[in-house]
A = this chain, B = another copy of it.
Amino acid sequence: MSKYDGTAPVAVTVDLVIFTLRESALQVLLIERGKPPYMGGLALPGGFVRDHEDLRGAALRELGEETGLDGGKLHLEQLRTFGTPGRDPRVRTFTVAYLALGPDLPTPVAGTDAAHARWMPVAEALTVELAFDHRAILREGLDRARAKLEYTTVAAAFCQEPFTLADLRHVYEVVWDLELDPSNFRRKVLKADDFVVPTGALRAPEVGRPAELYRRGRSEILYPPMVRTTHPS
């Protein structure tokens, strides 16, 4: 039996991997750190969990502070907890990572905590140096997002309502970095139960035939799943 009682000083934080689609690229929100350690370096947004706050609540609060947005409208899910000793040089810190997905979010507003926040394409963010173990967290967020497009309807979380099937297809194409056949994609999405619901309205693009508009349906799972591989043999 250990004499351990968990009273050694530890800190618990939440860190956010916030993805959006901007300019046909998957982008992640990063902040420039205003204090040590890693002062001036780039990091995922996040902060301490407060006394009477649950984990999701802390994530929602940080989301609001960093993006100026009502987090209640975004998809938010817990990713994983990171707690390797030494990941924060100051004190033993456990961080509960969250993944947030949303449609083209506003550029963070000056005069708030988010003043030093900016969007960066994920492909680029994975190559630059990030504070702490944030690169690994980002990597896991990306893997999770990619995987979840397959068997859930979260792709629609990237779309501003109402949206066209082409909008939705672009989400898959950008996140998975491949091209999908428009007609097969359409057949699959419309056959799936309550993935999207038609509004009856149309949207005229810059060129070409106007497209039907949809909203997100009630279903959270996508069955049969969308397949990423063109015959993995």
| Chain A interface residues (CB < 8 Å from chain B) | 1-2, 4-13, 47-55, 78, 80-85, 91-94, 96, 113, 151, 223, 225, 229, 232
Closest residue of chain B to A95 (Cβ to Cβ) is B81
> Are B223 and A47 closer than 8 Å at their CB atoms?
no
A9 to chain B, nearest CB (A): 7
A120 to B170, CA, bound (A): 48
Report whether B80 and A49 are in contact in the complex, using a CB–CB cutoff of 8 Å.
Answer: no
**Distance, CA A10 to CA B4, complexed state (A):** 13
- State whether B9 touches A13 (Cβ < 8 A): no
Q: State the CA gap A11–B83 with chains docked (Å).
A: 13
- Nearest residue, chain B, Cβ from A80: B78
CA–CA, A83 and B96, complex, Å: 10
Q: Is the CB of B223 within 8 A of A49?
A: no
List residues of chain B with CB within 8 A of the CB of A82.
55
> Do most interface residues of chain A lie in helix, strand or loop, or is the interface mixed?
loop
User: In the bound complex, how far is the Cα of B12 from the Cα of A94, in angstroms?
Assistant: 8
Chain B minimum-CB-distance residue to A34: B1
The 8 Å CB contact of A54, one of B48, B83, B91, is B83
Are B85 and A51 in contact, CB atoms less than 8 angstroms apart?
yes
Question: Given A12-B12, A53-B85, A85-B52, is A4 in contact with B47 using a C-beta cutoff of 8 Å?
Answer: yes
Q: Tell whether, in the assembled complex, residue A1 and residue B81 are in contact, meaning their CB atoms are under 8 Å apart.
A: no
Pick the 4 closest A-B CB pairs, nearest first.
Answer: A6-B11, A6-B48, A81-B81, A54-B84
**Across the interface, do B13 and A6 meet the contact criterion of CB distance under 8 Å?**
yes
Task: Given A12-B12, A12-B94, verify A4-B48 contact (CB < 8 Å).
Answer: yes
Known: A2-B48, A96-B83. A9 touches B11 (CB 8 A): no
